[in-house]
Structure 1
Amino acid sequence: MSASLSRRSFVLGGASALSLGALSLAGCSAASGNGGAAVSSVEWSEEADVVVVGFGGAGAAAAINASEAGASVIILEKASEKDAGGNTSVSGGTMCLADPNNLDTAFEFIRYQMPDTTTDEEIEGYLEESSTLQQWLVDHGANVETNATKGSMYGALESAVAFPTSAKVGGNGFSLFTFLKGVVESSAGVSVRYETPASKLVFDPETREVYGVLATAADGSQLAIKAKKAVILCCGGFENNHQMKTAFYPPEVPIYPCGTPYNTGDGIEMITEIGAQLRGFSSVEWGCHCCKPASEEVGVSCGFTWTDFECWSNSIMVNARGQRFVNESGRTVSDRKILRPLHDKSQIPELAFSMDTLSYANLPMFFICDNAKVKAGPVFNNCSSAAGNHWANIHEWYTWSDDNQAEIDKGWLVKADTIEELAGKLGVDPAGLAATVQAYNEACAAGADAAFGRTDALSPVSEPPYYGCELGLGIINTQGGPVRDGAHHVLDTEGNPIPRLYAGGEFGSLYCWLYQGAGNVPEALGARTAGTNAAAEEPWD
């Protein structure tokens, strides 16, 4: 298309003076106090009815429905095609589904989990999407397998009966995204632009009406893409943005994304500068522990499988004093097979802070195991060849060796002939660690862990040589982003829809306080509503 399809005086959204990222307003003039950099015109590179930012589950669902409503769609994806799919592609793929015949009780269940600022209208919209999701998938050719067990991890709530089943498409989230990608590729009028990150919204400084998106193409050229009807932001969170994690979570904690490393909070800049209402930035969905040196080098979490309690066999976790501080193989929810601290909303001991020392009481923290553990298979098994989710293996960034030798050679797992020698190499108090291992082994022999009540994987650390590493915390995703209504409009600070701007998925997730297991995937696919509504907008030009 012509580079001068249309010209109009807009605002080119720049970084806000209160930027949540690293951009600044240097050299730019503010427009109407919204933090944008004023420009007199934009030369459009190309156009579509709807522009979708992000190609994960939410972006795919939005594009599919927009196409089916007759709209042309451009999807902008930051990652390469190999790394596309967002967090959906490395999720467990399980979807918690509301019973369409029991929506009143389902409403009670979701209402209980939400802060009072979440509107009833948004909950009702979510439940409509959840209760019709299975049929939507089937209508698009999916083989949906259902599990007739409680769909939610909060079984203690009586209203959980309204979520009686969970569903999957294939074995995991990668299977689900592969299916969605195929539907997108067969949808009329949809174009996916890989390695093309969006950077700014183009909008009117007075009305905030959104007209398009600026992006950078794979060849480095700058694009101005006109959205004749609407823009839908499905760009995930900020799991891989150190500055934002430090701003919203306890600082100086080693945190590594279990999901896509491309979630660096790009969309937060866009909605901040346009004046969107924000929510959910304190909500963090912990994953399981990970090997810190491996995660640092690979760039994503190399950690434990969150449903495998035996990953703690012949192993313990200690602080720098060599002391255990938690039941390592404990459960987040007592009646579910969920390894802590996955989705834990309690005050986790890993983050305990001492006002006496003005430091974290249990950080740094260390994994200690023996030769029996190393001989049994990959120590950090969620990036092994058998891993069913997590980024490292699924997207072929790193696969942990079956015998752990490659990781020992790299120095990720430190080896020593004695516990005291291992402690010295790791920087842990030798006497403290030796006493802890002795006490733990005695508990294993007695069959009862009086110190922390550990029952799963209660096996000794007794066969030399010994191994260890510093641990980090995995993070599944963040939930912070824009407030939206039941139709997926992004709302401004006064609660009014920002014209032609929609959002979906975990970018401003409904789950900004409690999170029910398997809730984010159906929420992501609920962005199909945003696609339908965006396609129904009247073209602005």
Structure 2
Amino acid sequence: MKKMETEIVVIAAGPAGLSAAVEAAENGADVIVLEKASTVGGAANMGMGPLGIGTKYQKQQMIDITVEKAFNMFMEYTHYNVDARLVKRYFEQSAETIEWLEGMGVEFEGAFRYFPKSEATWHIVKTDQGIGPRAASFLNKALYNRARELGVEFLLETPAKKIIMKEGKVAGVLATNKDGEEIEISCKAAIICTGGAGANKELIKEETGFEHGKDLFSFAIPGLLGDGMKMAWEVGAAKTQVRIEMAACIEGMDNLPQSIPNVLMQPNLLVNKHGKRIMNEEEMQNATYLSNVVAHQKDKVCFSIVDSSIVKYYIRNGVDNVSLVRTNPDVSDFYDGVKMAEKNQDSGLISADTIEELAMKAGIDVDALVETVELYNDYCDSVDEEFFKDRRFLRPIRKAPYYCAKIRAGGYGTVGGIKINENCEVIDNDFEPIPGLYSAGADSCNIYDDSYMFLLPGNSMGYAINTGRIAGISAVEYVED
């Protein structure tokens, strides 16, 4: 067995772990980072940027968002079921964190909304390829370079296996390298940042009731199996509810042109398997709200329905709502996508020449859907008496062919599992800190309660980076005490 020694061990090198390592090293600590994968950044390499509140970008863009406003929004949204002290500390630090990242060479495009009804808190990382997914890989690279500059040692392809405790305190971390050799690292503090359990189908089903690939279509980044949570629970950490960070998606659309999901995620007619409407479809732009609705329906599925006249309207005028993930309102290749789906036999997209045929193919109650469409068309000629949808989005379903897509619960992986306080100290069932043990990022993220706060976009990465920094600060204070 190989033996090593340091002051602080950071377990995993996503944005939380990288931020914790940099913050601790900047404060003078010796740090070793253990990472299961062969590269750093984790799931966040697919992201675009963190939340910031009260930043210079928001002030320059005349965006009216303050810590007080965001905090009150957040706490009202969660009905005060979450740790107000942790939320407040995270939000207060978030603007300075943007500047902290800029000091490492990270540049930002500005502050943006994710969708029209959200606030402009999402600080998109500037790249050489414009705004789009994977922008945050540039941020992760900057954090990694800064950590190495500060002397942080990275052991890649070396997963942590166990937290070593002596006399009730963290005394080390046991790991295994790619050659199977065990490594025991003596340390005074450990920071768990392993990114949740998004690829652990058994744990997800046990904790949430969802079956991945059947009624849940969330990201499943290989290697995210809940290792950090299990290590923390083994040494007495209190357990919090493990949830999915919800964001609805269309089943089976991954390989189709963006025009398909862009058309079918508009505020179209939305029904369940009983053929009934279930929400004001304007709110479909918030993928968390939509996921919540879907999760409460039979077989956890809903159907977005359009006719040919609606498709032609979108092709001619562009879609009603765009987001920073689907920024292009142009859906002129929609019919090319339909042909591709038919060729691929994608089950998520269904077309038919009659409403009755559409219902039968989709598994929707035929008579109920016919009645719903008739009633909905009447609303389009007057007002929506059922869910009060804005007239701008009321378009009748009358012209064949008809199209519908299966809307499923989706998301970005799991959040929660390890209970922490506002200092990112892992606490036990008596709410007492476990000496030397800290956690940041998805493993500890229990600030949303049952619904991801999409109205303040950038929360996933913002929480990870800021709690990473808080954990790094707290760990240094502990080891120096």
Question: Would the TM-score normalized by the shorter structure come out above 0.5?
Answer: yes
Report the equivalent of 1:238.
197
Q: Aligned with 1:317: secondary structure?
A: strand
The offset of 1:212, in angstroms, is: 0.6
Q: Quick one: distance in 1 between partners of 2:177 and 2:169? A: 23
1:2-41, aligned counterparts within 5 Å? 3-5=1-3
The amino acid of 1:443's aligned partner reads Y
- Which structure is higher in RCO with an 8 Å CA cutoff and minimum separation 6? 2
Report the equivalent of 1:350.
294
1:524 matched to 2:464? The reply is: yes
Q: Aligned with 2:441: secondary structure?
A: coil
The offset of 1:106, in angstroms, is: 7.4
Question: In 2 relative to 1, CA 165–237 (structure 1 residues): closer, same or farther, beyond 3 Å?
Answer: closer
Report the equivalent of 2:341.
407
The amino acid of 1:270's aligned partner reads M
Asked if 1 retains the 8 angstrom alpha-carbon contact of 2:259 and 2:337, the reply is no
Flag the structure with higher helix content: 2
The offset of 1:401, in angstroms, is: 10
TM-score, normalised to structure 2, is 0.74
Report the equivalent of 1:324.
277
Report the equivalent of 1:506.
442
- Structure 1 residue ranges without an equivalent (≥5): 6-45, 156-163, 332-338, 353-359, 391-399
What is the CA deviation profile of residues 267-287 of structure 1, one whole-angstrom value per residue up to 9, with x for unaligned ones?
221111111022343x65421
What is the CA deviation profile of residues 371-422 of structure 1, one whole-angstrom value per residue up to 9, with x for unaligned ones?
4566767xxx9xxxx98559xxxxxxxxx99634332222222333333223
Report the equivalent of 2:49.
93
Asked if 2 retains the 8 angstrom alpha-carbon contact of 1:320 and 1:364, the reply is yes
1:182-221, aligned counterparts within 5 Å? 182-186=142-146, 187-188=148-149, 189-198=151-160, 200-204=161-165, 206-215=167-176, 217=178, 221=180
Which of 134, 145, 154 is the aligned partner of 1:174? 134
Q: Quick one: distance in 1 between partners of 2:336 and 2:432? A: 54
The offset of 1:192, in angstroms, is: 4.5
Question: In 2 relative to 1, CA 321–168 (structure 1 residues): closer, same or farther, beyond 3 Å?
Answer: closer
Asked if 2 retains the 8 angstrom alpha-carbon contact of 1:232 and 1:503, the reply is yes
Q: Aligned with 1:183: secondary structure?
A: helix
Report the equivalent of 1:460.
396
Asked if 1 retains the 8 angstrom alpha-carbon contact of 2:295 and 2:409, the reply is no
The offset of 1:211, in angstroms, is: 0.6
Asked if 2 retains the 8 angstrom alpha-carbon contact of 1:146 and 1:168, the reply is yes
1:63-462, aligned counterparts within 5 Å? 63-79=21-37, 81=39, 85-91=41-47, 93-97=49-53, 122-123=86-87, 125-144=89-108, 146-147=110-111, 167-170=123-126, 171=131, 174-186=134-146, 187-188=148-149, 189-198=151-160, 200-204=161-165, 206-215=167-176, 217=178, 221-250=180-209, 254-258=215-219, 260=221, 262-281=223-242, 284-291=244-251, 293-294=252-253, 311-313=264-266, 315-330=268-283, 339-342=285-288, 348-352=292-296, 360-361=297-298, 363-371=300-308, 388-389=324-325, 403-412=337-346, 413-444=349-380, 446=381, 448-455=383-390, 457-462=393-398
- Structure 2 residue ranges without an equivalent (≥5): 57-65, 327-333
TM-score, normalised to structure 1, is 0.67
Q: Quick one: distance in 2 between partners of 1:265 and 1:303? A: 35
Q: Percent identity?
A: 26
1:59 matched to 2:23? The reply is: no
Asked if 1 retains the 8 angstrom alpha-carbon contact of 2:124 and 2:135, the reply is no
**How large is the Cα RMSD of the aligned pairs?**
4.4
Q: Quick one: distance in 2 between partners of 1:288 and 1:434? A: 26
Report the equivalent of 1:17.
none
Q: Aligned with 2:196: secondary structure?
A: coil
Q: Quick one: distance in 1 between partners of 2:159 and 2:410? A: 25
Q: Aligned with 1:329: secondary structure?
A: helix
Question: In 2 relative to 1, CA 436–109 (structure 1 residues): closer, same or farther, beyond 3 Å?
Answer: closer
Q: Quick one: distance in 1 between partners of 2:335 and 2:50? A: 27
Q: Quick one: distance in 2 between partners of 1:49 and 1:401? A: 59
The offset of 1:423, in angstroms, is: 2.4
Out of 88-97 and 479-488, give the one that drifted further: 88-97
Q: Quick one: distance in 1 between partners of 2:475 and 2:420? A: 14
Q: Aligned with 2:225: secondary structure?
A: coil
The offset of 1:216, in angstroms, is: 5.7
